[in-house]
Structures are given as C-alpha cells and as structure tokens.
Amino acid sequence: MEMKPLTSALVGGATLLLFGLNTLWWGSILLLFAFIKIIVPHRGIKHRISRLLILIGMVWIEGNSFFVRMTRRIQWDVQGLEQLRPADSYLVVSNHRSWADIFVLQHIFKHRIPFLKFFLKQELIWVPILGMAWWALDFPFLKRYSRAFLEKHPEMRGKDMETTRKHCEKFKTQPVSVMNFLEGTRFTYEKHEKQKSPYRHLLLPKAGGVALVFSSMGDYLSKVVDVTLVYPENEPPVHFWDLLAARVPCIIVRVQVLPIPDAVVGVDYEEDQAFRERMRQWVNQLWQTKDRQIENLMADKKCAEHGD
C-alpha cells in the first residue's frame, strides 16, 4: 500500500535526521582516530588505526541500514552473493541508476566483501564531515581535467592516472573492494539521448578506470564483482529522497563474479593501443550482457522473494 504524501514526507524527514545524527556521531569519532593516525609515527600503529577506521565505517553502514529497515520494509531481490569472501580483494563494477546506489551496495555487501572504497571527485572532500571521513578512510580523490584545460596545460596530462596508480598501491596493504561506476554518472534519459547510447538502459561505459585498476593491482585482486542494479517500480533517476521517504518499494540486485582478464598487470592503458582496445571490448561485452539483463528484469516490474 502506497504511503500518503504527508506520511511519506514525515518518514523521509525522520530517516534523514537519523542518517545525519548517525553520520555526525561516527564521523566525529572517525576523525578523532584519523588525527591520532596522522601524529603517530609508528607504522604498525598506523596500520592498526586504519583497521579501526574501517570498523567505524562498517558500524556507520549498519546504522543506516537499520534506519531504512525501521521506517518501511523494502522488498529486496538480491542474487549472486554466495561466492564472495571478506578476506579476498575485488574490483566491483556497476551500472549507476541513483544516488541511492551507494547505500544499496554498502547494505548488500556488508560483511561479505571488504569495505567498499570509491574513486571520488576532488571537490567532494569539502562535503561536511563526510569529505574528511572519506579522506581518513583512504578513499582516492581524483581531479579530472577538461580537454580544453589539457590543451593549455599539456604538462598535466596523465596526472589523474598517476594519482590513481598511487592509491591502488596503497590498497595492497589489506583486503579491499575497489568500486567503479563505469558510466561515470547516473542514468537519465537526457544523458542517454545526448550520448546516443546504443544500450537501452545504460549510458556509455568508460574503460580507462578499470584498466588502470587492473594494471596497478590485477595480481592482487581475486575477482571482478559485476553488479546490476534495478529499481523496477521507479523511473530513473531515482533520487536518494525517494529511498528515505519510502518511495522505493522494490530493489533488484544481480551479482556476477568474473575472473580478472589475462595479461593486464603493468600494462599502460594510454600508451598500449592493443590493451586499450582489449579493455574497451571487455567493457562493451559486459555492458551488452547487462543491458539485456536489465531489460528482462524490468519486464516483470516486480521483485521476487529474495532477502537482503
């Protein structure tokens, strides 16, 4: 039964408040230990504090999951988690339907794979509390340069890739899940039309990010975790407020575990044309399969009975 608008708004406001208080509390504790990590010179202690910071992040996720369950039951249809192990390292790739995607991924993968780490735009470091929390958790912040800027400053070409490679090296100190939304932005019909995307339910994928992760740490990763996200009863884009206000009745997630492609470690995506073409083919094949899968899932417009 659909909620009345006033009830939905009240539920959304209450959930947003709980999310905010949860973030303020655990974010403050996390930043305190992050400060200690900065000033302590001993490498072993720094490593133990890093593990503690991840634990704090996991407790924060648990709180957010509890608040959403408490406000209204979402019908989850999640399949494919059986092969995952928290002791392994993964590259996680996904389509991007909504700002709610990050919550969904954190919710379904908690305790199943290592803590998810996203590549973030450099500007996001200024988000109150969260920006510094992401920094403390070693999320990589990347500065993307426009084509026009690079034409005027060619010496900056490749700097973002160099930064990404350095962060990938840091990830090798403990099990990690590196997250990449291949489309680079949320799906909307306007973006789909502007791109002239050949896929019905997806924007054009970008191969550069995953290629760099493969090149930098392909020998350290166990598998690729391919995620397909569908909100069958909501038209894209699905806003985060829709999730908070109990306007997302059904979430479908399909997880497929794939092998790491062969001969990827140490290969330069920018300089090796054969590798660049191979990565593009790998990504495009992945997207063709995902597009067909979304089409089939959307045809039913409902969730099966599978738990979260």
The domain spanning residue 170 has which CATH number?
3.40.1130
Q: Which residues contact 110 (CB under 8 A, 6 or more apart)?
A: 58, 61, 62, 65
Predicted local confidence at residue 235, as pLDDT: 82
Residue 59 lies in a domain: no
CA atoms within 13 A on the CB side of 222: 16
Residue 58 lies in a domain: no
Q: State yes or no: pLDDT of 25 exceeds 80.
A: yes
Q: Which of 237, 247, 244, 286 is nearest to 68 (CA)?
A: 244
Number of structural domains found in the chain: 1
Q: With contact defined as beta carbons under 8 Å apart, do 234 and 242 qualify?
A: yes
Name 117's bridge partners.
Answer: 178
Residue 235 lies in a domain: yes
Residue 18 lies in a domain: no
**Coil, strand or helix: which one is 166?**
helix
Name 92's bridge partners.
Answer: 179, 225
Q: With contact defined as beta carbons under 8 Å apart, do 78 and 307 qualify?
A: yes
| Residue that the structure tokens 């995506």 belong to | 269
Phi first, then psi, for residue 128 (nearest 5°) are -55, 135
How far, in whole angstroms, is CA 113 from its chain's centroid?
13
Residue 94 lies in a domain: yes
The 10 Å CB-count burial string (b at 16+, else e) for 186-199 is bbeeebbeeeebeb
Residue 281 lies in a domain: yes
Q: With contact defined as beta carbons under 8 Å apart, do 253 and 108 qualify?
A: yes
Q: With contact defined as beta carbons under 8 Å apart, do 266 and 215 qualify?
A: yes
Residue 261 lies in a domain: yes
Give per-residue pLDDT as tens, 204-235: 999 988 888 898 888 899 999 999 999 998 88
Residue 139 — very low, low, confident or very high, per pLDDT cuts 50/70/90?
A: confident
Predicted local confidence at residue 308, as pLDDT: 59
Please give the Cα distance from 28 to 9 (Å, whole number).
Answer: 28
Q: Which of 102, 85, 46 is nearest to 175 (CA)?
A: 85
Q: With contact defined as beta carbons under 8 Å apart, do 218 and 264 qualify?
A: yes
Comparison of pLDDT for 59 and 271, the residue scoring more: 59
Residue 95 lies in a domain: yes
Name 229's bridge partners.
Answer: 253
Give per-residue pLDDT as tens, 31-75: 899 889 888 888 888 888 888 999 999 999 999 999 988 876 789
Structural domain boundaries, residue 254: 74-300
